[in-house]
């Protein structure tokens, strides 16, 4: 059975290997039998990201599309804040999301929409006095 170690134990091992105490802001990353001393938590997260990419795709520089979940070269992906996605995947997801919101809006406001639409069509088709007079004289058919 594998023994679990705490971060404090890894810090002690790293301190013994370096021969000095570690700064408080440093983070020790443990992977397999090795330890990596990270300058801060952001770098530690980058190490995790690159390891996931390496084990999933064989290339540590690849990133995962948030929609299709495939690993690809960042030059083929668009960056949206923290997330990466293919342009095609993003377009499909946006269309599906917009369609869902349109359906929800229609379901919530069905009476208002029907009232507005029927009023619009009534105003277009409503016969006007001028048209009735011209029609009576035979100018409009």
Q: What is the mean pLDDT of residues 95-99?
A: 86
Summary mean pLDDT of the chain: 78
Sequence ranges of the domains in the chain: 1-61, 64-108, 109-141
Q: Residue 65 has what pLDDT?
A: 93
**What torsion do the CA atoms of 72, 76, 81, 83 make, to the nearest 10 degrees?**
-30
More confident call, 100 vs 115: 100
pLDDT band at 27 (very low <50, low <70, confident <90, very high): confident
């Amino acid at each position: 059975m594998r023994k679990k170690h705490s971060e404090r134990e890894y810090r002690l091992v790293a301190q013994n290997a370096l021969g000095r105490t570690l700064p408080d802001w440093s983070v020790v990353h443990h992977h397999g039998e090795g330890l990596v001393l990270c300058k801060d938590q952001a770098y530690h997260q980058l190490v995790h990201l690159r390891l996931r990419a390496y084990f999933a795709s064989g290339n540590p520089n690849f990133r995962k599309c948030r929609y299709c979940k495939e690993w690809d070269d960042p030059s083929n992906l668009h960056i949206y804040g923290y997330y990466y996605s293919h342009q095609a995947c993003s377009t499909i997801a946006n269309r599906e999301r917009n369609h869902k919101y349109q359906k929800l809006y229609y379901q919530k406001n069905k009476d208002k929409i029907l009232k507005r639409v029927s009023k619009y069509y009534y105003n277009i088709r409503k016969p006007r006095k001028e048209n009735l007079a011209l029609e009576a004289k035979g100018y409009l058919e």
